[in-house]
Structure 1
Amino acid sequence: MAHTLTWHDDVSHQARILSYAARLTLKPAFAMWPLTDGGIRAIGRLDRAVDRLPRPRRVTIEHVPLGGVPCEKTTHPRTATGSLAGATVLYFHGGGFVFCGLATHRSACATMAARAGIPVYSVEYRQIPIGGIGTSIADAMNSYRALLDTAADPSKIIVAGDSAGGYLAMKVAELAVLEGLTPPAAVLGFSPLLNLDLKSHPKKFMKKDAYLPMKQVLALEERWMNGPDAIPGASSPIDVDPSVFPPIFLSTAEYELMRPDVEAMTRKLAVAGRTVETHVWRGQVHAFPVMAGALPEGRTVLDLAVAFAARNI
C-alpha cells in the first residue's frame, strides 16, 4: 500500500487574486443563475466564447471522435520515455454536468500533454439538458472502449478529470472492471465529485467554497438523476468497492465542496491497501489545476499528477 496526504501552504499572488475575484463575482452570479433549460443552455455558451481565444502553442490539436463521441486529441513534439512510453490520457472536463467543454479545458490538456509527452484526449460528453449523469457516463464509456482499440498501449490508459469529470473518470475505472474490459492504469482526479449526496456535508464548511453556491449545486441533483439513461453501478464513486480501483491521484482545495469526500475516499482506499496520493491546497479555488496556464499551483499539481502516473503505471 502507498498512501500520502500532503498539505500545501504557499499561496501565490495569482491565486489570491483569483480567489478574491471568484468570491466577488462568480459566486453571486452562479447563485442567481436560473437552472431552467434556457438558463443552462445560456451558460453552456461559455465554451463557445472561450473557443474564440487563441489556442495553446507548441501543441497539435486534432478533432478525433471516439466511439461516436466528439473529442480533441492534443499532442506535443516531445515523446515520453520510460514508464510513460505508449501511455495515453483520456480527460473528462468539469462543469457540474451543465457547462464547460473542450475549449474551457484546452489549456489544461495542452499543459498535461506537454509535461507528460503523451497524447491527451479531451471528451465532449453530453450534458444537461440533453441528458443526466447516466448519459454523460454512457459517452465516457463509449470513448474509453474506442480508445482501448486505438491507443498505442491499451494497458496504459490514464483516465483523468476535474469536478464532474473526476466523477466520470472514477466511473470509467469502476465500470471497466464490471464489464471485464482492460482497466485504466491510473486515475487522476482534480477536485473530483465523489459523492452525489452533498447534503450530508456540514453547511458551514460548504459555504466557504470560493465560487460554488451550495444551493445551486443541490438544485442540480434532480436534473442529474432524471435523465433518460440510468447510472450503471454505484451512484457515487465513494460507495464503490475500493478493490476495483487502480492507483489514484487526488487534489482538492482547503475550502470547497469536494474536499470532505476527497479525504474520505483517500482514507477508504488506504485502508483497503490501494495506492492513493492526495494533495490539499490552501488558498485555492475548486478545480484550480484547470487554470494551470495562469496559476503556478495548477502547473505544480499537473506535474505531481504526471509524476504519480509515471511511478504507478
Structure 2
Amino acid sequence: MEPRKPEPSAAYRPGGAVATDTVALKAALGSPTDRRPSMQSAVISRALRFGLRPIVHRLPGHPMGIRTARTAVEAASLLVGQHPRTRIEGVHAPLEGPGGTRHLAGEMLVPEKGRVTDAAVLYLHGGGYIICSPRSHRPITSRLAVETGLPVFVPHYRLAPEHPFPAPLEDALDAYRWLMNEGYPASRIVIAGDSAGGHLAASLTGEICRTKLPTPAGLVLYSPWVDLTCELSTECDQRTRDAYISAHTARRIGQLVMGQAELADPRLALLECSWTGVPPVLIQVGGAEMLRPEAERLAEALTEAGADCRLQVWQGQIHVFQLLNRVLPEARAAMRESARFITSVIDGFPAAGSGAVA
C-alpha cells in the first residue's frame, strides 16, 4: 500500500524554512519521508548490499571492467521499458559552434496525454559519469513525463575516463541551449539529475548563473554526488554500509572523472560555489545512503546563499531509490513530490506540502 499523501498546506518560505502550519500538518498526518521503510524496500536494500556492492567495488579497477559494466547495464536496460503512457522520440541535432559542428544526441520522453508544449525537463542520468545512458533511466524519466505532463529530454553526454570533466558539462550546456532554441523558454525548463547526473545538473545550473545564460525555472536532485573526493561520505559509509557502493570505490571513480581538472574548479567543487541567482531547488536523498551528508551540506550551502532549497531525507531508502518506482511505494511517493515541485516552479508559484526538511 502506498503511503497516504497529506493534503497541500502552506507554501515553503524562501531559504528553505517551512511554515508552522505545515509542521503541524506533518505532526498530525506524518510525512512520507519519515515513515519506516516498506517490506519491499528492506528486501531490495539487503539484496543489493550483498549482491551488487561487491561487484561495483571492482568496477573502476581497469578499462575492461568499465566496458563490461557498460555492456551489462545496456543489456539490462533492454528489459526496462518506459511508462506505458509515454513515447520516445530520438534526438539527433547538429550544433554549430566556434570549434565547428558538434552533434547532440539523446531521447525525449513524451507523455501520451496532457502534454504541456511550452515547458520541459532536462534530465541528466547518473552512473558515476562512467556508465548508464538515457535508456537505463527510463523508469524515472518516463514517470516524470507522465506525472508532470512535460516532455523530458535526456541527452547522451560523454563519459569518463575517455572524456573526463568538463566534457559532460559541455554536452549538458549544449542540451540546455538546444531546448531553448527549440522554443522552450528557460523560465519553463527544469533541470534534474540523479547521483553523478545530480552533480552534473547542479554544475550546469551554477554555470548557467555564472555565465549569465537565462536561468531555468528550478533544479531537482536525486541523491546528488556533491563531493567527488568523497570526504564527507566516508564516515557515513562506515555507519550505514551503502547498498550500492563504498566511499573508497566512489573516490576512485571520482579520480577518473576529474582527470586533469583542478579540485578547486567551481564546476566540480559544488560546495565552493557562490550559488548566486539559483532558482528553487528540491533535493531528495535516501536516509540509508552514504551521500546523505553531501546532500545535507549542499542544502545548507544553497540556503546560506539565499536560495529556496527544499531537502527531503527519505528514511531507510537507498541511493536513487526513485529508479524502483514500479515496486517501491516510497519511490512512487517521491516521484509525486518531485513532479509537484516541478509543475509548481514551471507555473511560477511556490510548492506547498509535506516532506521538506529545513
User: Structure 1-normalised TM-score?
Assistant: 0.91
Question: Is 1:224 aligned to residue 257 of structure 2?
Answer: yes
Q: Which amino acid aligns with 1:92?
A: L
Give the C-alpha shift of residue 93 in structure 1.
0.6
Give the C-alpha shift of residue 267 in structure 1.
1.9
1:170 & 1:229 partners in 2: Cα distance?
A: 18
Deviation sequence 1:47-92 (CA, Å, 0-9, x none): 32034226321211011135522211011122257xxx72200001
Select between 202-211 and 139-148 the one with higher mean Cα deviation.
202-211
Q: Hey, what does 2:62 align to over in structure 1? A: 36
Select between 214-223 and 181-190 the one with higher mean Cα deviation.
214-223
Q: Hey, what does 2:275 align to over in structure 1? A: 242
Q: 1:11 aligns with which of 15, 22, 37?
A: 37
Question: Is 1:58 aligned to residue 58 of structure 2?
Answer: no
CA 1:108–1:218: 2 relative to 1, 3 Å: same
Select between 156-165 and 68-77 the one with higher mean Cα deviation.
68-77
Q: Which amino acid aligns with 2:163?
A: G
Q: 1:285 aligns with which of 310, 318, 324?
A: 318
Deviation sequence 1:283-304 (CA, Å, 0-9, x none): 2110111222222211211111
Question: Is 1:212 aligned to residue 245 of structure 2?
Answer: yes
Question: Is 1:266 aligned to residue 299 of structure 2?
Answer: yes
1:272 & 1:184 partners in 2: Cα distance?
A: 17
User: Structure 2-normalised TM-score?
Assistant: 0.80
Does structure 2 conserve the Cα–Cα contact (< 8 Å) formed by 1:132 and 1:223?
Answer: yes
Select between 268-277 and 296-305 the one with higher mean Cα deviation.
268-277
Select between 104-113 and 194-203 the one with higher mean Cα deviation.
194-203
2:234 & 2:246 partners in 1: Cα distance?
A: 14
Give the C-alpha shift of residue 221 in structure 1.
2.5
Question: Is 1:79 aligned to residue 106 of structure 2?
Answer: no
Does structure 2 conserve the Cα–Cα contact (< 8 Å) formed by 1:134 and 1:227?
Answer: no
Does structure 1 conserve the Cα–Cα contact (< 8 Å) formed by 2:236 and 2:293?
Answer: no
2:231 & 2:132 partners in 1: Cα distance?
A: 24
Select between 165-174 and 199-208 the one with higher mean Cα deviation.
199-208
CA 1:228–1:240: 2 relative to 1, 3 Å: closer
Q: 2:286 aligns with which of 245, 250, 253?
A: 253
What SS does structure 1 have at the residue aligned with 2:127? Answer: coil
Q: 2:337 aligns with which of 300, 304, 307?
A: 304
Q: Which amino acid aligns with 1:254?
A: G
Deviation sequence 1:247-274 (CA, Å, 0-9, x none): 0000111122221121112222223321
- State, as a whole percentage, how many aligned pairs show the same letter: 27
2:215 & 2:234 partners in 1: Cα distance?
A: 35
CA 1:300–1:263: 2 relative to 1, 3 Å: same
Cα RMSD (Å): 2.3
CA 1:270–1:60: 2 relative to 1, 3 Å: same
Q: Which amino acid aligns with 1:260?
A: P
Q: Hey, what does 1:125 align to over in structure 2? A: 157
Deviation sequence 1:8-67 (CA, Å, 0-9, x none): 223122211110111110111112335211111110113320342263212110111355
Give the C-alpha shift of residue 194 in structure 1.
1.5
Select between 14-23 and 42-51 the one with higher mean Cα deviation.
42-51
1:214 & 1:95 partners in 2: Cα distance?
A: 15
Q: Which amino acid aligns with 2:202?
A: M
2:264 & 2:114 partners in 1: Cα distance?
A: 37
In structure 2, stretches of 5+ residues that fail to align are: 1-13, 19-30, 96-102, 347-358
Give the C-alpha shift of residue 239 in structure 1.
1.5
Question: Is 1:89 aligned to residue 102 of structure 2?
Answer: no
In structure 1, stretches of 5+ residues that fail to align are: none
2:17 & 2:113 partners in 1: Cα distance?
A: 30
Does structure 2 conserve the Cα–Cα contact (< 8 Å) formed by 1:207 and 1:214?
Answer: no
Does structure 2 conserve the Cα–Cα contact (< 8 Å) formed by 1:137 and 1:171?
Answer: yes
Does structure 2 conserve the Cα–Cα contact (< 8 Å) formed by 1:247 and 1:275?
Answer: yes
1:8 & 1:299 partners in 2: Cα distance?
A: 15
Q: Hey, what does 1:26 align to over in structure 2? A: 52
Q: Which amino acid aligns with 2:39?
A: H
Q: 2:235 aligns with which of 199, 203, 215?
A: 203
Q: Which amino acid aligns with 2:209?
A: V
1:136 & 1:204 partners in 2: Cα distance?
A: 28
Q: Which amino acid aligns with 2:303?
A: A
